[in-house]
Structure 1
Amino acid sequence: MSVDRIAWSRVEDVPTIELKPGIEYSHRLITQEGQGSSFSFHITSIAAGFEHEARGDGEHESVLYCLHGGSTQTLPDGTVHEFRPGDAVYLPREHEYHHAVGPAGLVMAVSCTPSR
């Protein structure tokens, strides 16, 4: 697909990708496959109370932007950040942190390079 044209996308027009069934799902709105983009842009939702160890895959750099709800992100050195609406976080290819989603769940915009 050519990257020399403007392209639109809506959540209703893309499949829901179940990352963790019943817990985490994503709508990949802009992708290499769909629009020819070198990066991807998603809206991802995670259920309230979910906790896990987040780790980079060595390939993707990402930016997360909190739209609704929130979570606590704890780095291996003990640094704690409350991820709330309006916050953005850059994740390098290699990273790790403990991720605990709050009682309102978490909805975030995610951009990754290369495209997922």
Structure 2
Amino acid sequence: MIVRTLDECTSSDRRVKAENGNWESVRMLLKDDNMGFSFHITTIFAGTETHIHYKNHLESVYCMSGNGEIKTLSDGKVYQIQPGTLYILDRHDEHMLYGGSEDMKMACVFNPPLSGKEVHDKDGVYPVD
């Protein structure tokens, strides 16, 4: 059994910050845990905008607190994000993620799992491990 707390992970190298300051991600479950997915608590900071295109990963994101919106670039649709919203990037959806008036705290699951240090490249992509 694996047991970790958010506080423990936040105080370790499992806490990864975006170079541009838009987000930080506490990666609680990673590839080397051998579960077939990774689990993260991510904060999207208020007033930010981040281009994301997970060409190599599928992601589900649940908003626990805060607000913002997501815009899919293929069709220009905009979806409001608030506590209780789940969005699923089941088609490697290229999108813009906008932080609203409050920081968003998100629970995120990635498949395949992340190894831990990934940050978005210039195209919004995480590399394959």
Say which is worse superposed, 65-74 or 88-97, in terms of deviation. Answer: 88-97
Structure 1's consecutive aligned runs of 4 or more residues displaced over 4 angstroms after TM superposition are none
1:13 aligns with 2:8: yes
Unaligned runs of 5+ in 2: 115-129
TM-score between the two structures when normalised by the length of structure 2: 0.76
- One-letter amino acid of the structure 1 residue matched with residue 4 of structure 2: S
Match of 1:66 in 2: 63
Deviations 1:2-59 (A, max 9, x none): xxxx2111122223111335331111111122x3221000000021100122212x21
Counterpart CA distance in 1 for 2:102 and 2:24 is 16
More strand by share: 1
Deviations 1:51-89 (A, max 9, x none): 122212x21111000011021112232321101110111
Which residue, 84, 87, 101 being the options, matches 1:103? Answer: 101
Which structure's CA Rg is the greater one?
Answer: 1
- Give RMSD over aligned pairs: 1.6
Match of 2:122 in 1: none
Q: 5 Å matches for 1:22-101?
A: 22-33=21-32, 35-56=33-54, 58-76=55-73, 77-92=75-90, 94-101=92-99
| 8 A contact 2:4–2:28 mirrored in 1 | yes
Indicate the percent of aligned positions where both proteins have the same amino acid.
27
- One-letter amino acid of the structure 1 residue matched with residue 113 of structure 2: S
Unaligned runs of 5+ in 1: 1-5
